Structure 1
Amino acid sequence: VEAVLQDAQFSLLLLVELLVVKLLLTAICAGSGLVGGLFAPAMFLGASLGAAYGKTLALIAPALGEYMAAPPAYAMVGMAAVLAASARAPLTAILLLFELTRDYRIVLPLMAAVGLSVWLVDRIKLTTASNSNLQQIGLAELKDEQAEILEKTLVGEAMYQPPLMLLKTLSVLEAGLEMTRDRTRSALVVNSAKQLIGIVTLEDIKRAISLWEQYSSPDGSSHIFSQQLVDICTTEILYAYTDETLSEALDRMAARGLHQLPVVDRDRQDLILGLLEREQIDLTCNVAATRKALRHYVPVVLPNTDIVNS
């Protein structure tokens, strides 16, 4: 890599050979579990690819030679592009190569190449990107079969109904008791007209009690008994709809790091239909996959709703 960046006289054929051999060896190491990493190979591959690209341009359009940069400039841009695409770290790649060169003139080519490479990877590997979002919210990476289930299953088939609904004027302690009795992780907070106000979880209840224990004073001992559910619930909520797929709902959950979404009517968002939790989504995928396997041996399989809601 250092020799390429110092404009050593490598022929185009040699650069292509280095690129192909290194790519093959990197794939073998990564696939077999051998020690090799991806950072250094990405830098080597990017430098070789960029230098080869620069030499190819010089051969194709020799008249533009005086306007073209030297091969090391193309090598550095190639390093940034390959590193950004392989590590999914575009900002790191741009800053790293700028630190190496200290040349402002290379920033725009760097940004263009890095942006293009990351965009191409996102377009080619859509399923992988979706799975990484699932890992961020705690779900295991999905196989192709499970991803297909998410694309075909509607929210209405996996949602929990009827969900536990608690009045916003209920005290925090009473709400905690209701949720533990119902053995539910989440509850919907409503007003007297049964309109959705927010959502509360067991974590919210425990956090409120912990804060009271930490900052309580003799003259404020009754605060925990008078604090209402509306004071601790999450009011800025996202919704799910019965006619959308689980994949769409999961993307919405991943965008905010949520574990649950209230399911409402698409035309009337104050009309509560159910509650969709990530545990139900995981269960739905497992049940559907098992049902598919059973079809080879069992002539009759129960409908989706009978199994999921049982």
Structure 2
Amino acid sequence: PNIYTRDNASEVIKKLFSQCGPEDNNDLLCEYNRSYTYNLLDEYHDNQATSKVYEAMLLLSLAMVAKAILTIFTFGMKVPAGLFIPSMFVGACVGRVIGIGMEQIAFIYKDSWFFKLFCSPHEACVTPGLYAMIGAAAALGGVTRMTVSLVVIMFELTGGLSYIVPIMVAVMISKWVGDAIVKDGIYDGHIHLNGFPFLDSKEDFIHDTLVCDVMKPQ
């Protein structure tokens, strides 16, 4: 019954990355009460979430839990079920929910000194799609422990050069948190669990190891 687990994962990620516009009123994520003011230079709009948006947040939270549990099983099976898209899906769901929450906080307290200081009055203060993008990068970085290559991948996927710095910060924090919990990434852990013949010189042998120390005599 959940539209976000029923639809294709890559299409849902694309939808979570995008910013809602006036033409997207048929989607639960974009059911806002909008007020537009046009002038010669720009456009000012308020985004007040309706009950449909909060319903979408609930469905995204349920989809995130379901996808995370299913990915645990499918990655351990001997079938090519994938890891990149499910990890990005989980992170994008969390990021979009947090982004919508921040967007509504900015809308409710738009007259406070904090949002007046950091937000321009002629553009949206919070972009939930950016939160989804950073959440997807953080989740994938925590799972795989990739750093520079993951930032490059996210840049190629989105084309947003101005978002590299927040993505780098999110990826590094996710790697530090993951290393504090489990030393290896999911691929290294899978290699050790399956007993694959993989030799990691950083762990097994040091540079002053002699051949006679590792040979097995007949």
Superposition TM-score, scaled by structure 1 size: 0.42
Give the superposition deviation at 1:113: 0.4
Give the number of the structure with larger relative contact order, counting CA–CA contacts within 8 Å between residues 6 or more apart.
2
* Partner residue, 2:131: 74
Please show how residues 106-117 of structure 1 align to structure 2 within 5 Å: 106-117=163-174
Gap change, CA 1:103 and 1:278, over 3 Å in 2: farther
Pairwise mapping of residues 1-310 of structure 1 onto structure 2 (< 5 A)? 1-7=13-19, 9=29, 11-60=56-105, 62-63=108-109, 67=119, 68-126=125-183, 128=184, 141=192, 254=202, 261=208, 279=214
Report the CA distance between 1:102 and its aligned residue.
Answer: 2.5
In the alignment, is the contact (CA less than 8 A) between 1:80 and 1:114 conserved in 2?
Answer: yes
Aligned length: 152
Deviation at 1:142, TM superposition (A): 8.7
Q: How far off is 1:260 after superposition?
A: 5.4
> Is the CA contact 2:139–2:174 (under 8 Å) kept in the aligned structure 1?
yes
Letter in 2 for 1:28: F
Counterpart CA distance in 2 for 1:261 and 1:28 is 41
Q: Larger Rg: 1 or 2? A: 1
Provide the residue aligned with 1:196 in structure 2. Answer: none
Sort the Cα spacing of 1:101 and 1:124 in 2 relative to 1 into closer, same or farther, 3 A.
same
Please give the alpha-carbon distance, in whole angstroms, between the structure 1 residues aligned to 2:83 and 2:136: 12
CA contact (8 A) 2:103 2:128 kept: no
User: Which whole-Å CA distance do the structure 1 matches of 2:211 and 2:193 have between them?
Assistant: 18
Report how far residue 69 of structure 1 moved: 2.8
- Structure 1's 88 and 277: CA in aligned 2 closer, same or farther, altered over 3 A? farther
Moved more, 98-107 or 116-125: 98-107
The answer to whether the 8 Å contact 1:43/1:79 transfers is: yes
Residue 261 of structure 1 aligns with an amino acid whose one-letter code is D
In the alignment, the residues of structure 2 paired with residue 125 and residue 118 of structure 1 have an alpha-carbon distance, to the nearest angstrom, of: 10
Q: CA deviation at 1:277?
A: 6.2
Give, in whole Å, the separation in 1 of the partners of 2:104 and 2:214.
59
- Mapped to 2, the partners of 1:33 and 1:142 lie a distance apart of 13
Q: Distance in 2 between matches of 1:111 and 1:34?
A: 32
Amino acid paired to 1:102:
G
Amino acid at match of 1:94: V
Q: Which amino acid aligns with 1:51?
A: R
Structure 2 residue runs of 5 or longer lacking an equivalent are 1-12, 20-26, 30-52, 120-124, 195-199
Contact 1:54–1:71, Cα closer than 8 Å, also in 2: yes
* Residues 12, 56 of structure 1: 8 Å contact kept: no
Q: Distance in 2 between matches of 1:58 and 1:105?
A: 20
* SS of equivalent residue, structure 2 residue 175: helix
- Give CA-to-partner distance per residue, 1:83-119, whole Å, 9 cap, x none: 2222222222211221233323211110110000111
Report the alpha carbon displacement of residue 75 of structure 1 after superposing the two structures with TM: 0.8
Structure 1 position 77, deviation (Å): 0.9
Letter in 2 for 1:6: S
Cα distance in 1, alignment partners of residues 77 and 193 from structure 2: 22
Could you state the TM-score of these two structures normalised by the residue count of structure 2? 0.57
CA pair 69-27 structure 1, distance change in 2 beyond 3 A: same
How many angstroms does 1:278 deviate by? 5.7
Instruction: Report the alpha carbon displacement of residue 33 of structure 1 after superposing the two structures with TM.
Output: 3.5
Going from structure 1 to structure 2, the CA distance change for 1:142 and 1:32 (only over 3 Å counts) comes to closer
1:23, distance to aligned residue in structure 2 (A)? 0.9
